[in-house]
Amino acid sequence: MQPLVQVDGVSKRYGKTLAVADLSFGVAKGEVLGFLGPNGAGKTTTMRVITGFMPPSEGRVLVGGLDIAEAPVEVRRRIGYLPENPPLYPEMEVTAFLEFTARLRGVPKGGIRPAVARAIERCALGEARKHIIGKLSRGYRQRVGLAQALVHEPELLVLDEPTAGLDPKQIHETRKLIRTLAGERTVVLSTHILPEVAVTCDRVVIIAGGRLRAEDTPESLVARLGAAQRGRGTWEIETEAPADAAEAALRAVPGVARVEAGPETVERTQVLQVEAAGDRAVATDLARALLEAGCPLYGLRRGGASLEDVFLALTTEEAEANGTGDAAGTPEVAEEGS
């Protein structure tokens, strides 16, 4: 099937800095594509190219078969875009602002009110509809930002870090909203939070240093991560402070590569970060060693697979597969444009 978005060998240079290098991928109709990468990986730049905010230095982007460079206005009509910082006019009322954006996106005159009402309903903005945007909380502003991206019912939604700066409840709601959009609309969203991708996305594109590192479904991504992490894992062990004895005992366990003590907590406990070879059976060994040394065990859990781990795991793997040495060493570019 013809993908809705086709990114074709796109590069973007800011002066001498290469922010995005030869990026190619497609987004199928009705798909939710996660764009995963650390800060400065080129996520925002790529999204700005897709939305027609800026032209690429090289390559081209097709949306619905149209080249952005050739039919910019027609393409932008089909796109709803939520930048990282929601672009809002603080002096306007929510409803007035959404009416303005609907008109700006070419919603016909009679359709503006219903479109705004739908967007308000969707983003649960009913209570805030008559509020001045400048006085809204961060969570509400994000929702207004989402509403303005949705108001003209675009085929393609591009969301740059849609959950950044929200509290957990709002994050949950936003993800739910994005999931309900899937199927009827195509969504491209960027994030640097791994679980978000697993929850909301059908497919993931990982970029680092402006280059494509991996492209897969979240399931196989997790599987690959598991494979990459087999034979090496981090564990968090909580014990009584001071933890010197515990530290020594853990170090003595075969396979332990590194033990690092965290700061003392208010409850006079201390968390030790242990990096150990071997599969999950090593947890039992760690616990046993601790108890035999006479130290109390308050908690033991597998260290969260941080994004950094994923990147190290995935990018080195990709680099090896591609036969290139340089993994994530490309200079970072500030994503805050002028």
Partner 1 sequence: MRNALTIARREIGAALASPVAYVLFGAFAFLYGYFFADYLQSFVEAGMRMSQMGGFSGGTLNVNTDLLRWLMASTAVLVLFLLPLLSMRTVSEEIRSGTMELLLTAPITDGQIVLGKFLAAFALYGGMLALTGLHVGVLFWFSQPEIAPVLAAYLGLLLLGAGLLALGLFFSSLTRNQIVAGLLTFGALLVLWLVEFAGARGGELGRVLAYLSVTGHMEGFARGVITTRDLVFYLSFAAFWLFLARESVRSRRWRG
Min dist CB 53 to partner 1, Å, is: 5
Nearer CB in complex with partner 1: 77/122: 77
Q: Which of 21, 37, 61, 105 binds partner 1 (CB under 8 A)?
A: 105
By the rule CB under 8 A, 104 interacts with partner 1 = yes
Q: Which is nearer to partner 1, 91 or 292 (CB)?
A: 91
Residue 162: strand, helix, or coil: coil
SS3 298: coil
Quick one: 91 or 244, whose CB is closer to partner 1? 91
Tell me 167's DSSP state: -
Q: Quick count: other Cβ atoms within 10 Å of Cβ 252? A: 11
Comparison of 166 and 214: residue with beta carbon closer to partner 1: 166
How far apart CA 259 and CA 126 sit, in angstroms, is: 52
Token readout for 39 is 């800060």
Query: Are 270 and 238 within 8 A, CB to CB?
Result: yes
Q: Which stretch binds partner 1 (CB under 8 A): 100-108, 182-190, 275-283, 285-293?
A: 100-108
Question: Quick one: tokens of 107?
Answer: 């919603």
Closest by CA position to 260, among listed 272, 251, 248: 272
- In the three-class reduction of DSSP (H, G, I as helix; E, B as strand; rest coil), residue 101 is classed as helix
Measured from the CB atom, is 148 or 315 closer to partner 1?
A: 148
Neighbouring C-alpha atoms within 13 Å toward the C-beta of 158: 24
Size of the site for partner 1 (CB under 8 A): 33
Letters for 116-155 (x = contact with partner 1 by CB under 8 A, - = none) are --------------------------------x-------
What letter does residue 185 receive in the DSSP assignment?
A: B
127: closest CA among 80, 91, 165, 135?
135
Structure tokens, 62: 């097709």
Beta strands at 299-302 and 233-240: parallel, antiparallel or unpaired: antiparallel
The tokens 């400065």 sit on which residue? Answer: 40
Closest contact distance (angstroms) between CB of 138 and partner 1 is: 15
The token pair that represents 96 in the structure block:
């007035």
One character per residue 2-41, x = contact with partner 1 (rule: CB under 8 A): ----------x-x---------------------------
Counting contacts by CB under 8 A, is residue 331 touching partner 1?
no
Q: Where are the beta strands (DSSP E) in the chain?
A: 5-14, 17-27, 32-36, 58-63, 66-67, 79-82, 156-160, 186-191, 203-208, 211-216, 233-240, 256-264, 269-276, 299-302
Site for partner 1 in 67-96 (CB under 8 A): 73-74, 76-77, 79, 81, 83, 85, 87-92, 96
C-beta of 161 vs 309, nearer to partner 1: 161
Distance in Å, CB of 180 to partner 1, minimum: 23
Tell me if 296 contacts partner 1 by CB under 8 A: no
d(CA 316, CA 161): 25
Choosing from 11, 46, 101, 186, the residue that interacts with partner 1 (CB under 8 A) is 101
79 vs 271, beta carbon nearer partner 1: 79
**Site for partner 1 (CB under 8 A): which residue of 169, 281, 294, 338?**
338
**Nearer to partner 1 by C-beta: 104 or 248?**
104
Residue of 51, 142, 174, 330 interacting with partner 1 (CB under 8 A)? 51
Residues forming a β-bridge with 80: 157
Residue 106 binds partner 1 (CB under 8 A) = yes
Q: Which residues bind partner 1 (CB under 8 A)?
A: 12, 14, 45, 48, 51-55, 73-74, 76-77, 79, 81, 83, 85, 87-92, 96, 100-101, 103-106, 148, 337-338
